[in-house]
Amino acid sequence: FERQVCEVRVPHTEARGPCWARYLAQKLWNHEEYYLQIDSHMRFVEGWDAEIISQLKACPSDRPVLSTYPPGYERGQSSSSMQAPPTVLCASDFGKEGMLRIKGRIMLRTPDAPVPGLFWAAGYSFSCSSLIKDVPYDPSLKNLFFGEEMTMLARMWTKGYDVFAPTKSLLFHLWSRDYR
């Protein structure tokens, strides 16, 4: 698998935030058909790759994007034990700086097809790779964290992309920072 993995190394003193880092990561694109953007501390269920492609194809849109805040996992937990209902992104509240915050809410019922969403999560986004060409990250957005998701969502929407919540939890996120 080493030939399938590329990396960009940047000294921490030269880092410019997540948007700039994702811009650098997008430059590694080599005409792959799909584009998955995730956070670094994620786990996947077995068969996630075939299932996420199937879900993307089930979206009623010419330019779908699957996105959500995934359920959490605990350090030491095996991927085979990870099961949780799917989540959908919802408005939460406004932060002290006035930015709208979003959160993942557990769906009460498992839907038959991906659910149209109102928000987009930078830590779990799956689409056709045309998204990289149509809505690339802006390298001038240095050190932007709160605002990244809303900025990218607005840019996606103006290019005709539609966001959907997946029907199954395929990825899990290590939300706890207690170990750091």
Rounded (5°) CA angle 22-25-28 = 155
Q: How far apart are CA 51 and CA 49, in angstroms?
A: 5
Tens digits of residue pLDDT in 23-52: 999 999 999 999 999 988 888 999 999 999
For residue 53, what are its two tokens? 């492609």
Q: What is the mean pLDDT of residues 141-154?
A: 86
Tens digits of residue pLDDT in 89-123: 999 999 998 889 999 999 999 999 999 999 999 99
- How far, CA to CA in Å, does 109 sit from each of 85, 105, 112? 8, 12, 9
- pLDDT of 83 > 90? The answer is no
Q: What is the pLDDT of residue 80?
A: 67
- pLDDT of 9 > 80? The answer is yes
Give pTM, 2 decimals. 0.92
